[in-house]
Amino acid sequence: MKKISILLFTICTIFVFTTVAYCEPSTKKASKNTADFTAKDFESVVVSVKRYYIDKHIDVNMAYTDAAAFALMSLPHSLYIYPESYFLERDKFEEEEDVKPGKTFKLSTDDRFLIFDPDYKKIEEEKKKKAKPEDFDKKANNEKIKKMVEREKIRKEILYSRWKQINFGKKEFERIIAFIEKNLNKYKEPPIDEKIVEDEDDPKEDFSIKDIYLAAANGYLNSLDPHSNVFLKEVWEESMAKIQDGSFEGIGAILSGGGNRDVLVENPLEDRPAVKAGIRAGDIIEAVDGKPTKGMSLEKVVKRIKGKKGTIVRLTISRKGTSGTFDINVTRATIVIKNVTHRLIKDHKHIGYIKLTGFVKSYQESSDREIQKAFYKLEEAAKKNKTPLKALILDLRNNAGGYLDLAIDISDMFIKRGLIVSTRGPNRSPEEAWAKNPDLTDLPLAVLINAKSASASEIVASAIKYHGRGLLLGERTFGKATVQKLMDLPGNSQYVLKITQARYYSPSGQTIQVVGVEPDIEISAEDDGSFPFQFREENMWHHLPKIPAEVNNYRPKYDIEKLNSWVQGNGKAEAFLNKHKDDPIKPDYQLIRAVDYVEAMIASLK
């Protein structure tokens, strides 16, 4: 058997525990970048694409088009490039509020494309005139998001077709770069509206031509697929460190929003300072130590909230059902974040629970070893309660992936024999990974998945489902089934190139690219039992297309109708959730509902 050791990486995901943020590096704005990146490095990316990319017949003209677009957008004073035919008719393809004021110009009168310079001052004035949005309506908002996503897809398809008509290519790209170099000082400062929300705690970073070439390189890669990019090696190392075990000093709460949205407390973590101080799920943070959060990015809000253990941060809170705002002082503490956590389910001490946040490995730990340790500790804890462990829940929700070989090893813990995954790419022999090691346990297994379970998570879920080893509960996964090679950029080892090399296939022989992994039983994570729109691979521009599946031939172990019948007659989740819906810590609706099905699995074996 060939062991697959290629790195498999994932969607951009943000985890915020008031200090932690992980995301694949963005190229929209300048970053802390002390390493040079030149025209030669850009060309190195182009050559690497020809040599390593999965598709040997890429649209080179569109690659240079996206490279030019990214270069212009990366300017602190962002500029935008359009086919002239599209821009003159853009009110047909874009919503009225999306058609921004500004001026256009051409590099040459013969050009069939133009550059758009938005009037940022007028845009800011128009934003201020808009009325405050009405109270949030989840169902209405869900429909609105779906329509916006579909509309944006159509708009991009039209824009793409217009670019194809004018044959923009390498020569035009080089003219754009020459224009930027000549006018860099003119567009080096951000427009006035961006200065309003600039964080004075962040040192100003000097923007230079290397940022332009780096943005262009990522534009070139972006034209291929959403998962290929190039970035500073130290940024990658910092990103990986943040999703491995670690600790930080903060308040212990999961936040969302920022920018144009309210900064929302998704959930304060149990026994952490936020809960102890009275912060509740659903609270909106209006200010931190008296400084308003309106218009501020989530990362900057997080930076203000974090601080030295024992110090106090003052949060100004607005809460549904309470008029006005009020202040809560929270004493910061050390918050420990683990890649693998475990516990016995409360009021169901015979059910073990293991949460895996990523597939990571280092000299200190590896996710597969940590899962083994967690399981043995669960067995010991169950014995102390004089109740043997009867089932296990493996939680892969919000797990964006990581190392492919770890996905294989973790799958192997539960599958006795058979194929786990295979990878296939052009000009290379298929590689297969088969179960070979003794199983960790033969207890009934439930795997929790959601729309943010991606890549390596989907390998584990699809293998367990295909072999009938366990029950998948939750909602359809993200749908990323591509494999990226991680390598030093040829000629510049300070940068890392991540490039799509192959697809991976489930044991059925089918790829789950775009379609994702379907749960055996859908379970909602919402209080009302709904399934709001979730952003997945299919919504990403330039994603690799799906390969139609011929047959769904997995081997279910449990009778789904009987499980549903048992839950309807014996389930306790909904009564529990109704009783605790107003708790300071929002109940984990999906997990609590899933426990009913795990109990049904146990009952079915009696």
pLDDT digit string (tens) for 257-310? 787 678 988 778 777 899 899 998 788 999 999 999 987 888 889 989 999 999
Judge whether 455 lies within some domain: yes
Instruction: Provide the domain count of the chain.
Output: 3
pLDDT digit string (tens) for 426-484? 877 889 999 999 999 999 999 999 998 999 999 999 999 999 999 999 999 999 999 99
Query: What is the distance between the terminal CA atoms of the chain, rounded to a whole angstrom?
Result: 38
User: Contact at 8 Å (CB) between 77 and 191?
Assistant: yes
Query: Collapsing DSSP states into helix, strand and coil, what is residue 201?
Result: coil
State which of 337, 371, 387 marks the end of a domain. 337
Question: Looking at residue 274, which CATH number applies to its domain?
Answer: 2.30.42.10
What is the C-alpha separation between 470 and 392, in angstroms, rounded?
10
What is the C-alpha separation between 53 and 484, in angstroms, rounded?
9
What is the C-alpha separation between 590 and 371, in angstroms, rounded?
22
Judge whether 576 lies within some domain: no
Is 209 found in the same domain as 261? Answer: no
List of residues 6+ apart from 410 with CB closer than 8 A: 356, 359, 367, 368, 371, 460
pLDDT of residue 97: 74
Burial class (CB in 10 A: 0-12, 13-18, 19+), 532: middle
pLDDT of residue 243: 58
Is 330 found in the same domain as 345? Answer: no
Is 113 found in the same domain as 194? Answer: yes
Residue type, 457: S
Is 57 found in the same domain as 204? Answer: yes
DSSP string, 309-361: TT-EEEEEEE-TTS-S-EEEEEE-EEEEE-SEEEEEETTEEEEEEEEE--B-B
Q: Tokens 């969302």 correspond to what residue?
A: 256
Can you give 49-100 as a three-state secondary structure string? HHHHCCCCCCCHHHHHHHHHHHHHHCCCCCCEEEEHHHHCCHHHHCCHHHCC
What is the C-alpha separation between 173 and 158, in angstroms, rounded?
21
Sign for the pseudo-dihedral over CA of 51, 57, 58, 59: positive
DSSP state of 107: S
Residue type, 382: A
pLDDT of residue 198: 44
**Bridge partners (DSSP) listed for residue 287:** 292, 316
State which of 320, 337, 354 marks the end of a domain. 337
What is the C-alpha separation between 532 and 59, in angstroms, rounded?
35
User: Contact at 8 Å (CB) between 517 and 549?
Assistant: no
Is 388 found in the same domain as 350? Answer: yes
Would you state the structure tokens that stand for residue 215, as one six-digit string?
Answer: 């943005």
Judge whether 5 lies within some domain: no
DSSP string, 568-601: HHH--HHHHHHHHTTSSSPP-HHHHHHHHHHHHH
Mean pLDDT per segment of 10 residues, for the chain of length 606 residues? 40 28 33 77 97 94 97 95 95 83 96 95 76 47 80 92 95 98 93 51 72 96 94 78 70 81 81 89 90 86 92 92 88 87 94 92 81 96 92 94 92 96 86 95 97 94 95 96 92 95 91 93 93 89 80 73 96 92 85 97 90
Is 438 found in the same domain as 404? Answer: yes
CA angle, corner 201, sides to 195 and 205, nearest 5?
A: 65
Judge whether 581 lies within some domain: no
Is 323 found in the same domain as 462? Answer: no
Helix (H) or strand (E) holding 466: helix 456-466
Q: Measuring CA to CA, which residue among 246, 248, 326, 324 is closest to residue 280? A: 326
What is the C-alpha separation between 431 and 504, in angstroms, rounded?
9
pLDDT of residue 396: 97
Is 300 found in the same domain as 176? Answer: no
What is the per-residue burial (b if ≥16 Cβ within 10 Å, else e) of 291-309?
eebeebbbebbbbbbbbee
Is 538 found in the same domain as 489? Answer: yes
pLDDT digit string (tens) for 328-380? 999 999 988 788 999 999 999 999 999 998 888 876 678 999 999 999 999 99
Question: Looking at residue 380, which CATH number applies to its domain?
Answer: 3.90.226.10
Judge whether 606 lies within some domain: no
Judge whether 571 lies within some domain: no
CA–CA distance from 319 to each of 160, 254, 325, 389, 408 (Å)?
Answer: 44, 16, 7, 41, 45
User: Contact at 8 Å (CB) between 245 and 364?
Assistant: yes
Is 350 found in the same domain as 211? Answer: no
Would you state the structure tokens that stand for residue 428, as one six-digit string?
Answer: 């290379």
What is the C-alpha separation between 227 and 482, in angstroms, rounded?
8
User: Contact at 8 Å (CB) between 477 and 451?
Assistant: yes
**Bridge partners (DSSP) listed for residue 45:** none
pLDDT of residue 241: 65
Q: Tokens 């040997």 correspond to what residue?
A: 56
Judge whether 535 lies within some domain: yes
Judge whether 218 lies within some domain: yes
Helix (H) or strand (E) holding 462: helix 456-466
Domain that holds residue 60: 26-229
State which of 290, 317, 337 marks the end of a domain. 337
Cα–chain-centroid distance for residue 199? 25
Residue type, 386: K
Is 269 found in the same domain as 218? Answer: no
Is 286 found in the same domain as 137? Answer: no
Can you give 382-448 as a three-state secondary structure string? HHHCCCCCCEEEEECCCCCCEEHHHHHHHHHCCCCCCEEEEEECCCCCCEEEECCCCCCCCCCEEEE
